[in-house]
Amino acid sequence: MQTLIKKWDDLSINEVQSIFSLRSEVFIVEQECPFQDVDGRDPEADHLLLYENSILCGYTRIFPKNTYFKEASFGRTVVKKKYRGKGYGHVLVKESIKYLKNKKESPIKISAQSYLKRFYASHGFTATGEEYLEDNIAHTAMFFE
């Protein structure tokens, strides 16, 4: 397993294609949620890529404060179905938190799919406020101090 963090302009065309393919495979096809994944926000983010044997199997995008939210954030956190159960989701969250902390970017706010509240709580996130729908999927705002 290998992780890399890259700026948008440093991603190759093949990396961008792999990112968009993985995100649509999980968020649109697997979760049966037709939404506009390519939202124009990718150039503002840093991109955490997780590889196993040169295959992109996990990903998240990371935002400094005052871009996506007033707080620092990360999202579109995804692990390819075939690679789940290996702890890669935990790696993505830990690496995202570490990256933001090293850049003195805190607190961190995420918009978590509600069924993952316990997962994010295990990393120190606290749910705040009422559940809401985002792209017809229940989400909860969560914070990490």
pLDDT tens string 89-122: 999 999 999 999 999 999 999 999 999 999 999 9
- 112 CB-near residues (< 8 Å, 6+ apart): 120, 125, 127, 139, 140, 141, 142
**Structural domain boundaries in the chain:** 2-105
- Confidence (pLDDT) at 53: 94
- Confidence (pLDDT) at 35: 86
Q: Containing H/E element for 16? A: helix 13-23
pTM for this entry: 0.94
Distance from C-alpha of 59 to C-alpha of 89, rounded to nearest angstrom: 9
Q: Is the pLDDT of residue 135 over 90?
A: no
Average pLDDT, the chain: 96
Work out the end-to-end distance of the chain between its first and last CA atoms, rounded to an integer number of angstroms: 28
- Confidence (pLDDT) at 90: 98
**Residue pointed to by tokens 């729908």:** 133
Question: Which fold does the domain 2-105 belong to in CATH?
Answer: Aminopeptidase (3.40.630)
| Concatenated DSSP letters of 23-90 | HIIIIIIITT-------S-GGGSEEEEEEETTEEEEEEEEE-TTTSSSSBEEEEEEE-GGGTTSSHHH
pLDDT in tens, 24-46: 999 999 998 888 889 999 999 99
Per the CB < 8 A criterion, the answer to whether 6 and 18 are in contact is: no
